[in-house]
Structure formats: C-alpha cells, structure tokens
Structure 1
Amino acid sequence: MDVIKTGSAAQATQRAQTPTSVIERYYDLIVSSVADFEFDHCSDAFEPAMKLPPLDARMQSFLSVATAQFFEMGNYRGVPLRLFDLRQNANTQTTKTLASTLIVARAIRHIQETGDSILLFSPSSGNKAIALRDAVLRALKAKLVHPEQLRIVTLTPAQTIGKVRRTELYDDVRLRALNPVFVLDTASPEAVKVVGQQFKSLFSHNPMGELKLWHSLRLENYRFSDQTRAFFDFEYGDAWDTDRKTVHVHAVSSAYGLLGYCSGVEVLKQHKKQVSTPSFLLVQHLATSDMVLHLLDGNFEGASTPSYTKASNGLWVQLESPHFPAATWSPDEILEPTFYTHLPPTAVEMSGLVKANGGSGIVVSLYECMQRYSECAQLLADTPVRLPADPRDLKEWSLVMAMTGCLNAIDRQLLVGMDGCTIHASGSYCRGDYEVIPTDGLTFVSNAEEMMEILRSHCEP
C-alpha cells in the first residue's frame, strides 16, 4: 500500500506527467485482493485461479497499455467536471483493456504453472471481444505464452461487426485459424449470450483434446480489474477527500465498472484508508434503460417510462420525467449497440448503492447527444479525446452519452448537493482510428453447433 499517496501535490504531479500504467502501479494491491474475487470451485466450468504472474520485464511490457489519467474540463453551471480517461490503449480505445489484461494475465499464470492450453471465449457486443483479442496478442508478442497455448474465440452480433478491429490475429494466417471471429446473424444482439452458453455446454461435453475453454464473462472478473479505478482516484483524484461529494458518471449496460470502483473502495478501507463515499449517475439509452428503470421503480416493468407524443416537427417529445429524453427521433432507438443488456442482474446492487449514497439515473437520446455534440467537443479540448467533426464518423458513443447525460442531469437538477462530477471515459473511437476485419475474414454462424463444427474442423492445433 506504500505506493498510494494522497493530496494536491501528487495530483498536480500526475497531471503534468504521461499516463499511469494502473495495473502495474497497483499490482501488489490487486494481488492482495484476490481472495475477494475467487470463483466457486464447486462449479464444473473451468476458470483459472485469480493468481497473477510475477511482475517481471515481460509482464511490465504486457501491462503497459492499461493506463489512466485525469483531465479537468472546467465548470458547467458552477459544477466542476473532470474526465477520468480509461480509454487510452490505442488498440481498443475502451476501458475493457483493464479487465481483459487481468483475465489474460491469469490465463498466463495458469499456463505457466500447469502446461495446460486455454481457449478464451467471449460473447460480446464488440468491445469486450476487441479488448480480449488485443490482450491475447500482447501476451504472444511479449512471449509469455505460445500461440497454441492461449487462443481466443469471440462471438459478436452482426449489428456490430464494424467495431471488430483488424490486427495480427487476422493478418497472420496461422493466428487467424487459431483465433476465429464468429458473427451471429440474428435480430437481437443479446442472443450472443444465449448461444454463448450453448457453445460452452457443447464444448464441455465434446472437448477438443486437452484444450480448456474459459467463458470469461463472470462479473468478478471485471470487478477485479475495475477496483483499480478507485485506487487511482484515491491517489490522483479526490476520493481521499471525505468531505467532498463527487458523482461518478458512467454510460452503463450492467455497471460492471462502477461496481468495480466500489470494490476498490472496500479494499482501500480494509487497508485503513479514509475514502470518500462515491455517488453515481447511471446513463443509458432508450433501447436498454433497465438500470435506470430499476433505480426509479425497483423493478424492470417500465412504470416510469414516459409516454411520447409526436410533435409537428417529427420529433417524439415528453415532459413527464426528467430522467428520460425530452425529445427523440424514436422512442425505441438504439443509440449505441454495445449497450444491449436487458434485465441486468447487477441492478439490485447498483440501485441500492445509489439510493444509499446519492446520485441518479438518466436516459439520453441521439437527438440530445447531437444537440450537445459541439459542447462535448469543446469540453474535451484540453484532453487527448477528439470527437470527429462529422458525428456520423463516431463509432463508439459511450463517452458522448455520459457527457450528455451529465449535462442534462445538472440542467434538470437531478444532482443536487454534489461538489463535482467525474465522467468515466469508458469508450470513444471513430472511423479512421482503426481498420475493420474484412467480411471474408469473419465466420458467420446461426447456432452453437456450427461454431463447434467449424472450430473442430479448422482450429484444432
């Protein structure tokens, strides 16, 4: 814990420096918390222990891209705004780098200790798959494992194939065969979770030699990594100031990142640190607003969803609820397809935290984001984040959603009594930041059986 410092001097030094490699900086603290996140050993499913490899030069290289940094963005209506930039890995541009790095690190430790070979599997709307593929590639480049020892299979919905990035895992013919990208052509993006569970079951009954399948979506895998947000905030932000009430703003699907932050707060308290109690603003879009609905109603039945009427200008409008868009082009719009989770199991815990510690929930529309777009770009002017001049070139809307939700919540007085807002920059990227995998490099499937057949026929080592 000696690495943790507090106070304005540390903050000023950090803001003048390059981004901090957060997993490396808090490695010992992360290792000390593994018992809090260990999985149920009674389960039949394979999962490596939470143990991490020794921190040698190769591991430092592997961890180096998982960085974070704070940036002050000025005030809005007297409320200080701070950006918590968690999307600095140029190969992912999302906070999923943190969790994926530790997931792969655990796989590395298991492989090094046992000699087993692991096949990581992730059903994903896009960003988790991108980050895991990047982490696997980094492990190979750092020569921590061999290509046959650690492989990855991903399953993404057809709606988000424009997010899947071309890397050496595609360009190298051998790595492409070992690490296929499956695409599920279905009307509902959430179907990847169902098909993913079916694939996991099929694999367990028909294993491929000694290859062990790790279905890595367990919540604790993400809480384990996202506790570093609290460690970093305590050292370089304002979490050390117990007299200050800061709202942490996040565009959420299941709020894994905020729950991880709370886990980090608890770890700090276990180490006898005085930590401020965080408040949260949950930001969602109309297609999946279940976290906000649960916060407002205590269930997912939708009683708080306002009725929209079509105005003469073609917009759908409502004045019933400050928690929902005042105007939208469609009451059912999908603003950002990476947020596709209905009935999230984390809602009960997250709603309890907001009700106990303060904060709120708000739903934003694309129309509102477009109204705020230039304002968001201006607020980001002194940060590394650049929004494209043409909003149609923005391919990940998480950050703009969070910023729009924050500004709207302040306007609508949903954050009364707060001293400032820390906006978690969980993702932002645009056309031109990356090259997509060509369509002929993707493997389109309609069910888990096809996945198994293709994997067995083309991908066995």
Structure 2
Amino acid sequence: MTVNGLPAAGTPPLVTQDSSSLLARYYHLVAEAASRYEPSATGGDFEPSMRLPELDAKLAEFLSPATAGLHDLGEYRGLPLRLLDLRQNPHTQTTKTFASLIIVARAVRYIQETGRPLVLFSPSSGNKAVALRDAVARALTSGLVQQEQLRVVTLTPAQTTGKLRRSVLSEDPELRALNPVFVLNDAPPEAVKQVGQEFKRLHADSGNDQFQLWHSLRLENYRAADIVRACFDYEFGQAGHTDVRTVHAHAVSSAFGLLGYASGIEMLKERGHQVADPSFLLVQHLATCDMVLHTLNGSFDRGNVPEYVKLPDGAWVQDASAHFPQRTWSPWETLEHTFYTHEPPTAPEMSGLISANGGKGVVVSLLECMERYAECRELLQKSSVTLPEDPRRLTEWSLVMAVTGVLNAIDRGLLPDADGVTIHASGTYGMDDYAPLPNEWINYVDNAGHILDTVLNKAGS
C-alpha cells in the first residue's frame, strides 16, 4: 500500500547498495524476481536453481559492467525523446550483459554448492554468445570459479560471424579449447536453435557425467535481469510520473527486454510504489516482423504484410500501411541478422500488454535507416552513444532501427496519445569498436554431432 503517494512503512528498500551497477543496486529485487521463475522439477531439462549467491564485494565487482544511462535527446515534432542506454559494457556493447551476468551468477552458486563442473551452452545470433563469454571470463578473472569448473559453448550462424569478439577466453590456448566457439555452416540463422536442441539430446544420450550441461534459453533467465530497467527508470527517469504517458521503444526479436521492464513495473507496484503503466513501440525488420504482425492482427500470417510494387529505380514501395516501410530495397529484407526469430512464443503476452496499455508496432527497412542515418547520428550525439560517420562501418543496427522506427512512427501519427518516448538502446557497435575473433579460432560445423565430439574430447583430455 502507499501513504501520500509514498511506500508504506515496512516496505523493503528499493536500493540494495549504492552502486552504478543496476544488478548490484537492485540486487534484492532481482533475487526476488528470479525466485518467482524457479524451473519446473518435471521439465526434464537441467537448469540450476534461480537462487543467486549472497552479494559480497567480489560478486559486486563481477556485476559491475551492468550500468545504464538516461539521456534527453530533445524533441521531435514536439514530442520529448529520451534514451535509456543499456549497452555501456565495452566488451559487449549490448544489453545482453545484464541477463548473462545473472545466468553466470546462478551457475557460480550451483558450482559452489555441488562442486560439479558446469558447461553453459547457448545457440545465439551473436550478441548473447558474446555476452555469455564475457560473463564467464569475468567469473574466472574475479576468482568466483576455476576454469575447469565453468565453461561456455556457443553456436552462432555463419551470417553473424563478424560479431564474434576476441576476449580473455580466446587469447589463452587452454581457455580457447575449454570454451569453444562454433559457427553453423550453410544454414538459415534460426537453424542454430534446432541444432542446439539436437546437441542437448545427443549429450543426454551419450551418458557423459563429467559435467552438467545447461542449455540456457528459457525466457525467465532473461526476464529476471531485465526488471532493473524499470527500477532505474523509476528512480531516475519517467516511470514514477503516473500523469505522463511514455512509450517505450525497442528493436525486438522476442521482446525479452520489454517483458522484463513490464515485470519490473508490476513488482514496483507490489512494493507500494506508484508507477505508470508503459506503452510500447515494437520495432522490427521485414525478414522477421512476426511480433508486429501479431500486435496488429493477432496472428503471424505474412499475408497481412502489405503488397509491395517495384519501381524502375529498383526500390519497392507501398502506401497501404503506416506500420510497414514505405520504401525498401527488398520486401523480404534482413536488415540486422540478430533478429531471426519466427513466431516467438512471447508474442501473445506482448500483444496483450499493448492492447491493455497502448502502443504500436512498426517495421523499418535498411533504405529508411540509411535515409535517416545522419538524423539518428545527430540525435544520439546528445547521449553517450557515438555512431560511426560512415554507416558501412556499423555492424549492429539495433539502435538505429529503434530510432528510425520512432521517427517514422511520429511522422505517421502512430503515437497520438504519447507524452514522450523512451528509446531502449539495446545494442550498437561498429567495426572500430572491437577486435574480431580470428577465423582460425572458430569451429565451423555442419551438425550437432560435430559439436558434441569437440566438447567431449576436451572434457576427457
């Protein structure tokens, strides 16, 4: 309950410790959120408990990269724009840092309690793989676990090989062998999920008991960490202004981040805080616009994508829907390879939130992003984010997609009831921001059996 708009006496404090790390700052709330998503004992697949380690100085240092920033970008057509920068960890430059640190913290507790080695396995479009590898490297360098106790194995599609980075895990030959990076040859990006499931099955059938394998794909592994977005927005941003309708914009594949934000808002309400119900703007690309389709039509039927007509100059155009690109170089375009999920199971929940609290979906094209690139760059100069002057050097387009989607939505009158827009900066980086993983340190594979052979060979060496 609340008294005069403030939490009642006895309400647990929001802030666990005064820290720039959001995970350490709101640690008790993150731990409480995690406890609500304990995996089912009848699920069949191994997953460690959602319980987190006790927060001490060593763990707080481990969590230190999970910082964020809020920046006013000025107004566009009279609507205030704000940036929630969640990609401040220089070793990942994406919001995947938050969930990856919590996943690894859970793995650390499991290892400490059982003494059993654990191998994290993650199929990924690229960013999650980079973030998990960074989190495991931090756990090793901070002394939370030893290199034989915690390992990470990742599988990414060939289309996103350029996103893979050098790190502590790649520089040392022993760590490189213990923590292999696999790339799937000659397959669509989403195939990494199917091959990942097959690898998990093959491992179970192998009878190997040298380590526990954790296939960390469950949504709740991410939702618990992403509640800190709402806590930070409440403490420093707009979430506490119940008289203001703020739209939260995000370039999404499955919208894990926005669902985490929504869960955080509900937890704040439970604790007696007065918070605003957020509206959402989902931004996607044409190759996988499934969440926008579901929001608009209640289904994933691609028959609801407007029909495009090709012009003599090669561009495709349509004017039937304000929610889709007016101009594109291809009606089937893959703008950013990190967004590859078809028919995400999170769509009904996200569509329900938008139906209840307001919001929209908008699809953007590379042509639109290029046409607005200078405008995006100018807006973001008011924040901590720097885009390369030459867009050809940009290798992660999530944030440019989000900003372009917001500007297009405002231009097309899709946000008539908004008092402002908070853009979630979930990821952006260019060629000059990191050292790519050398090709000779990548394991190219065609099937799950190749992955199992490599992982078990190292485990037995």
TM range (shorter): over 0.9
4+ long deviations beyond 4 Å: none
What corresponds to 1:199 in structure 2?
199
Instruction: After TM superposition, list the pairs within 5 Å mapping 1:355-370 onto structure 2.
Output: 355-370=355-370
1:388 is displaced (CA, Å) by 0.4
Query: How big is the shift at 1:452?
Result: 0.8
**Helix, strand or coil at the partner of 2:372:** helix
Shift of 1:243: 1.1
1:9 alignment partner in structure 2: none
In structure 2, the partner of 1:347 is: 347
Partner SS, residue 403 of structure 1: helix
CA contact under 8 A between 1:21 and 1:64: conserved in structure 2?
yes
Is 1:314 equivalent to 2:314 in the alignment?
yes
- Per-residue CA deviations over 1:348-379 (Å, capped at 9, x if unaligned) read 11111111110100000000001110111111
| Distance in 2 (alpha carbons) for counterparts of 1:35 and 1:59 | 18
Runs of 5+ in structure 2 lacking a partner? 1-10
Residue 187 (structure 1) shift? 3.0
Secondary structure at the counterpart of residue 427 of structure 2: coil
Looking at structure 2, the residues matched to 359 and 367 of structure 1 have their Cα atoms a distance apart, in angstroms, of 24
CA distance, structure 1, for counterparts of residue 459 and residue 445 of structure 2: 15
1:262 aligns with 2:270: no
For residues 258-305 of structure 1, the C-alpha deviation after alignment (integer angstroms, 9 at most, x for no partner) is 011111111111111111000000000010000001111111112321
Please state how far the C-alpha of 1:28 moved relative to its aligned partner.
Answer: 1.2
Q: What one-letter code is carried by the residue in structure 2 that aligns with 1:92?
A: T
Question: Corresponding residue for 2:299?
Answer: 299
Q: Is the 8 A contact 2:210 2:459 kept in 1?
A: no
The alpha-carbon deviation at position 2 of structure 1 amounts to: 5.6
1:170 corresponds to = 170
Alpha-carbon distance between aligned partners in 1 of 2:457 and 2:55, rounded to the nearest angstrom:
38
Tell me the SS of whatever aligns to 1:67: coil
Letter in 1 for 2:270: Q
| C-alpha separation in 1, matches of 2:150 and 2:458 | 16
Matches within 5 A, 1:193-342: 193-342=193-342
Q: Deviations over 1:401-434 (max 9, x none)?
A: 0000000000000011110000000000000111
Deviates more, 1:88-97 or 1:55-64: 55-64
**AA at the equivalent of 2:167:** T
Match of 1:399 in 2: 399
CA–CA distance in structure 2, aligned partners of residues 318 and 98 of structure 1: 39
Q: How do residues 362-401 of structure 1 correspond to structure 2 at under 5 angstroms?
A: 362-401=362-401
Q: Which residue of 2 aligns with 1:141?
A: 141
In structure 2, the residue matched to 1:110 is 110
Give the letter aligned to residue 329 of structure 1: W
Specify the code of the residue in structure 2 equivalent to 1:37.
Y
Aligned counterparts, 1:28-177, within 5 A: 28-177=28-177
Q: 2:411: which partner in 1?
A: 411
Contact 2:364–2:404 under 8 Å retained in 1: yes
Q: Could you tell me which amino acid in structure 2 is paired with residue 107 of structure 1? A: A
Hey, what does 2:188 align to over in structure 1? 188
Per-residue Cα deviation, 1:208-251 (whole angstroms, up to 9, x for no partner): 33300000010000101001111111111111111110000000
- Cα deviation for residue 459 of structure 1 reads 4.1
Give distance in 1, aligned partners of 2:230 and 2:182: 35
Partners of 2:361 and 2:440 lie apart in 1 by 41
User: What letter is aligned with 1:139?
Assistant: A
Which stretches in structure 1 are left out of the alignment for 5+ residues? 6-13
Per-residue CA distance 1:173-192 (angstroms, 9 max, x = gap)? 11011000011013311000
Give the Cα separation in 2 of the matches to 1:44 and 1:149: 23
- Matched residues in 1 for 2:198 and 2:133: separation? 21
In the TM superposition, what is the alpha-carbon distance from 1:312 to its structure 2 partner?
A: 2.4
Counterpart position of 1:450: 450
2:84 and 2:379 map into 1 onto residues whose CA distance is 13
State the distance in 2 between where 1:198 and 1:269 align. 41
Equivalent pairs, count: 449
Moved more, 382-391 or 398-407: 382-391
* Cα separation, 1, equivalents of 2:139 and 2:33: 23
Match of 2:4 in 1: none
Please report how far the alpha carbon of residue 456 of structure 1 lies from its aligned counterpart in structure 2 after TM superposition: 1.7
Sequence identity (%):
59
Are the counterparts in 2 of residues 165 and 437 from structure 1 also a CA contact under 8 Å? yes
Give the distance between the partners of 2:54 and 2:457, measured in 1 at CA.
36
Contact 1:155 1:184 in 2 (8 A): yes
What is the distance in 1 between the residues matched to 2:384 and 2:13?
Answer: 26
Contact between 1:177 and 1:459, CA under 8 Å: does it hold in 2?
A: no
Give the distance between the partners of 1:314 and 1:3, measured in 2 at CA: 58
Q: Whole-Å Cα distance in 1 between the matches of residues 304 and 374 of structure 2?
A: 30
Which residue identity lines up with residue 409 of structure 1 in the other structure?
Answer: A
TM-score of the pair, normalised by structure 1: 0.95
Distance 2:175 2:433 in 1: 23
Q: Which amino acid aligns with 2:301?
A: E
Task: State the alpha-carbon separation in 1 of the partners of residues 99 and 460 from structure 2.
Answer: 27
Deviates more, 1:303-312 or 1:225-234: 303-312
The amino acid across from 1:126 in the alignment is: G
Query: Which segment drifts farther, 302-311 or 201-210?
Result: 201-210
Equivalence for 2:7: none
How far 1:162 moved relative to its partner?
A: 0.3
Q: How far has the Cα of 1:55 moved from its partner?
A: 1.1
For the aligned residue pairs, the C-alpha RMSD in angstroms reads 1.3
Aligned to 1:8: none
Equivalent pair of 1:20/1:69 in contact (CA under 8 Å): no
AA of the residue aligned to 2:386: R
What's the offset of the Cα at 1:333? Answer: 1.1
Deviations 1:87-120 (A, max 9, x none): 0000000000000000000001111111111100
Instruction: Give the distance between the partners of 2:35 and 2:118, measured in 1 at CA.
Output: 23
Q: Deviations over 1:324-351 (max 9, x none)?
A: 0000111111100000000111111111
Q: Is the 8 A contact 1:208 1:460 kept in 2?
A: no
Q: Equivalent residue of 2:49, what SS?
A: coil
